[in-house]
Amino acid sequence: MRESVRRARLLLEDAAPLSYDCGELCAKACCLPDEEGKGGVWLLPGEEQALAGEDWARILPGDIPMLMCQGPCSRALRPFFCRLFPLMGVRRAGSWQVRMDRRARPLCPLARSGTRGLNPAFVEAAGQAVALVGEDPVCAPILMEWARLEKRFSPGALWEAAHGED
């Protein structure tokens, strides 16, 4: 596993969005596939190998491998993007920062409160972790692609998709 990924995962190992298991609020919605059996989380370099053989993890190969949850997991094994959720990394004014992921809104009750509703220690650790990964030349393009895809869920993009250009 890349050193930046290992260190970023460690920063988020004990940091959580709330002081208790937030999955109790939503029946662990972020760990479940959608109604079409789709959904998952991208893996950073080295995470695929670290999760190989785990019975709860189905890994779909690709340019960026994706993990599909198939049951409960140990917090210590969760991929970076699972640990980061419901936040995401964004590049602003030349530095990496975190903000609420728009894709979290339909399934995560925490998303409605924004970062103000999250444990401040989690937000701080998430910001540090994203900065570590974002400065890695191999991982930064993955974060950038994640952010690019997330932009499709902005209010303007959703309106445009629903109504088209006139």
For 23-77, write each residue's pLDDT tens digit. Answer: 888 877 787 776 676 678 999 999 999 998 999 889 999 999 999 988 788 888 9
- Are 123 and 18 in contact by the 8 Å Cβ rule? The answer is no
Paired with 132 in beta bridges are: none
**pLDDT classification of 160: cutoffs 50, 70, 90:** low
CA distance 42 to 44: 7
Average of pLDDT values for 65-93?
Answer: 91
pTM attached to this predicted model: 0.86
User: 81: Cβ–Cβ under 8 A, 6 or more apart, which residues?
Assistant: 41, 42, 43, 44, 146
Residues in the chain: 166
